[in-house]
Each structure stands twice: as C-alpha cells, then as structure tokens.
Structure 1
Amino acid sequence: MARRKTKIKFFTIADYEEEERWLEEEHRNGWRLVKLIPPVFFIFEETKPEDYIYKLDYKNKEMPNDYFQMFKDYGWEYCGYSLGWNHFRKAASQVRAEEEGEIFSDDESKLDMIKYLMLTRLLPLLIIFFAVLVPGIGRLRLTEGFIVILSFIIYVLAGVLYIYVFVRVGLRLWQMRNKINNKS
C-alpha cells in the first residue's frame, strides 16, 4: 500500500482557483489527492510525480450519475466532494487544446457558478449575520456584570470577523465575475 499523508488547509469559497493550483502542485510533487474530509483535511497518496490539472465545480447538492459520466467522457477523473465542491483531475498529457483543460465550456458557465456561489453561500451568511449577531449585540446591556461584558466582546469580535470574511469573499467573487465579464 502506498504511503499516505494528511494535510490541513483552509480555502474560502472564493479561493477555489488557489485550491486547484495547490492540488496540482501536490501532484507534481508526487502526492495524489485520494480523499477529502470537510472542512479542511486533504488526504494524499504517494504516486509518481506527474503534471495533472485539478478543477473544482460547485454544485452544493447531490448530482445525478449523468453529471459524473459527462466529466468522465471528457477525460476527467472524479476525486471527491467537500462542502458543495466536486473535485476533478485530468492528466495534463491528455490536454491538446486549452479548452480541454477547463471544465467550463464558456464564460457564461463560469459566471453561472459564481452567481450560484453568491446566492447559496454568501446570501445565507448575510441573513444569519443580520438575524443573529446584530440583534444579539443590541440585547446585551453593559451594566449587568462581567458575563454580559464578555458576551458583548465576543459578539463584537465575531461580528468584525464575520464582516471581514464576508467582504473579502464577496469582493473576490465580484472581481472574478467582473474579470470574466470584461473578457467577453
């Protein structure tokens, strides 16, 4: 049995291209992705160092068999699923034209995925923020002791972190969307 290693790495939903490049680099270094354990565990198996292309497709739901068959028909190997992302790979030697190294046939498909990411991941986070964190801060009174002050500090820190992540991810997705729109 080949040696295995587990790596812990965190990627936001807007970092999927960086995740693809990281997986490609691991494969070039002789480590092939064999399993994903959400949210941050990647299990690799030692293999011959080869040039592979990794691509991620966000679906956030169970897909029918014909979805996977379509990828297989185009030479893509399914690697696994994690938090809405389907991971695929293909040997770079199988790619003869640039579009064969892409899972999206056109810019419109990429735009659809980014829009879907925004609707299914960012919008719910925004709703949770306004439904839970904002009212929670408003309900706390600073005059009722240490626990209330500590709770207030935790709420504020969580709110600041939440806003930072939301803005960072939202801006990255927006920039990706604009880059594709300007290319067309």
Structure 2
Amino acid sequence: MRKILYRFFVDFEKEEKWVNEMGAQGWHLQKFSFGRFTFTKGEPGTFIYRNEFISGMSSNEKKDYFEFLKDSGISIINELGGWVYMKKAAADGPFEIYTDTKSKIAYYKRMLNIFALLFIINAWMGIANISIFGDKTSFEFVNQSVGVFNIAAALLIAYPIIKIIKSKRLLEKDLQFFE
C-alpha cells in the first residue's frame, strides 16, 4: 500500500523526526519532493531515516560520498534541491551522520551560509520590489505582490537560521567545555 502525504517543514530536524515517526508506524519513505512525501507500508521500525543538506558538493564529491554511505550500509532514498534522504536498517544500531561535535559544527556553518544567502536575496528582492519598483511601473501590483512574497519567504528562512545559530552555539560551548 502506498501513502502520499503533503507537509511543509521549515525545521529540517522536525521533518526528520516526523519521517522516523512514520517509519515507526510502518510507513517507509520511498520518495520526497518539496512538501510531498511518498511512503509504502511495511514492517514498523525497520529503518532509521536521516536527512542531510549536501549542497555545494561537486558531482564527483557527491558520487564518492554516496559510495561511502553505501559501503556503510546506508541507502540513499532520493536527492532534491541539495537535500538528500537516506536510511539504514534499525537492526544495525544507531545511525548518526555527524558523530563528533566539530563535524556537526562545520555542517551547521555550511547550512547557515546557504540559508543566510537565501535570506539576504529574498529580503533584498522584497524591499526592492515594494519600494524601488513598486510605484514606478505599470506593474505596481505585481511588483508589490512579489515583494510581499519575498519578504514572507525571508521571514520563513529566518526561523531555521535562528535555530541553526542556537544549535551551533550550544555545540561550540560544549566543545569548549570538554577541551
């Protein structure tokens, strides 16, 4: 049996938790796309799922990384827009992608750079469309609508930025404490 669910997550960790909860109920992730998750019915708790943001890797780096994951018993479900979902058999024990604090901090920094860039682009485009282009063209309504959309997108992107900054600072504090 197949189930398609539509969910929009701003928090990637909550999304991953939800996918694992679905797996615990016997719904195994087969594919994801923007806001759309396809599951098939199976044995509950068979897999542990992880998502990872891998944007910025070259094709060869990605290929090598996926090969490394495969050799570690990890299956790639699919990749979309820099995000990849993977799974590992729960019987094989815990499944964490970043097992040490320094690598997790580096991962958060990479994500923060991308999200900050997206925030800046959307905020700038929103302000530009509302104030600069908004009253000087015959497309005033369109420009202002696009501007409002960009500002809304920037505000949505601000949430994961704040969460990533807090998580990164907490890890950095732990790292200083244990060094």
Give me the TM-score of the superposition, normalised by structure 2: 0.81
Cα distance between partner residues in 1 of 2:35 and 2:157: 19
Which amino acid in 2 is paired with 1:29?
A: Q
Give the Å deviation of 1:155. 5.5
Q: Evaluate the alpha carbon distance shift between residue 42 and residue 115 of structure 1 in structure 2; reply closer, same or farther with a 3 A threshold.
A: same
Cα distance between partner residues in 1 of 2:158 and 2:166: 12
Which amino acid in 1 is paired with 2:47?
A: Y
Cα distance between partner residues in 2 of 1:133 and 1:92: 45
Cα distance between partner residues in 2 of 1:43 and 1:155: 31
Is the contact between residue 24 and residue 51 of structure 1 (CA under 8 Å) also seen in structure 2?
no
Is the contact between residue 35 and residue 79 of structure 1 (CA under 8 Å) also seen in structure 2?
yes
1:123 partnered with 2:117: yes
Identity fraction in percent? 23
Q: Which has the larger radius of gyration?
A: 1
1:1-184 mapped onto 2 (5 Å cutoff)? 3-12=1-10, 15-36=11-32, 38-60=33-55, 61=57, 62=59, 63-95=61-93, 100-130=94-124, 132-139=125-132, 140-141=134-135, 148=140, 150=141, 154=145, 157-158=148-149, 160-184=151-175
Cα distance between partner residues in 1 of 2:142 and 2:78: 39
Q: Evaluate the alpha carbon distance shift between residue 153 and residue 124 of structure 1 in structure 2; reply closer, same or farther with a 3 A threshold.
A: closer
Give me the TM-score of the superposition, normalised by structure 1: 0.79
- What secondary structure sits across from 2:79 in the alignment? strand
- What secondary structure sits across from 2:156 in the alignment? helix
Q: Aligned-residue CA RMSD in angstroms?
A: 2.5
Give the Å deviation of 1:27. 1.0
Which amino acid in 2 is paired with 1:105?
A: T
Cα distance between partner residues in 2 of 1:101 and 1:152: 47
Give the Å deviation of 1:134. 1.4
Q: Evaluate the alpha carbon distance shift between residue 157 and residue 45 of structure 1 in structure 2; reply closer, same or farther with a 3 A threshold.
A: same
Q: Evaluate the alpha carbon distance shift between residue 83 and residue 111 of structure 1 in structure 2; reply closer, same or farther with a 3 A threshold.
A: same
Give the Å deviation of 1:153. 5.8
Structure 2 spans left out of the alignment, 5+ residues = none
Give the Å deviation of 1:115. 1.1
Give the Å deviation of 1:157. 3.6
Structure 1 spans left out of the alignment, 5+ residues = none
